């Protein structure tokens, strides 16, 4: 299996690591981890792990983070899901092809009018 350079893979799919995004949001606001921890009611050590991409937030934590930073909850959940996939399967050609396959399957699913019937 061919392994892709993470930087090139990110360019292929337009994905910014969720941890990087969270850290950038915090730094743009010139806030410490302590301030964000107090605002989200999430432990500062856990937030730090999110920023370093050592852990991924739960759905409840995503909701709190989205609310704190004024982000769209659904979009943040999408980015977290992408992060879970990339963490589990890595940055390689098989993961890339699987993502493209899922995209095509989802297009067919929504085109056939089945959207809203499963886990939406």
Give 20-34 pLDDT, tens digit per residue: 889 999 999 999 999
Residue 42 lies in a domain: yes
Low-confidence ranges of the chain (pLDDT < 50): 4, 7-14, 120
Domain that residue 73 falls in? 6-92
SS3 per-residue string spanning the chain: CCECCHHHHHHHHCCCCHHHHHHHHHHHCCCCHHHHHHHHCCCHHHHHHHHCCCCCCCHHHHHHHHHHHCCCHHHHHHHHHHHHHHHHHCCEHHHHHHHHHHHHHHHHHHHCCCCCCCCC
Q: Could you tell me the CATH number of the domain that includes residue 29?
A: 1.10.260.40
pLDDT single digits (tens) 92-112: 899 999 999 999 999 998 888
């Amino acid at each position: 299996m061919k392994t892709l350079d993470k930087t090139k893979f990110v360019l292929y799919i337009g994905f910014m690591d969720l941890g990087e995004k969270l850290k950038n949001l915090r730094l743009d606001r010139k806030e410490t981890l302590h301030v964000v921890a107090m605002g989200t009611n999430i432990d500062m050590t856990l937030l730090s792990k999110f920023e370093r991409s050592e852990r991924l937030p739960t759905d409840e934590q995503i909701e709190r983070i989205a609310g704190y930073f004024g982000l769209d909850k659904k979009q943040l959940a999408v980015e977290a899901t992408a992060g879970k996939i990339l963490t589990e399967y890595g940055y390689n050609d098989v993961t890339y092809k699987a993502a493209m396959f899922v995209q095509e399957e989802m297009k067919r699913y929504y085109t056939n009018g089945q959207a809203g019937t499963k886990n939406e």
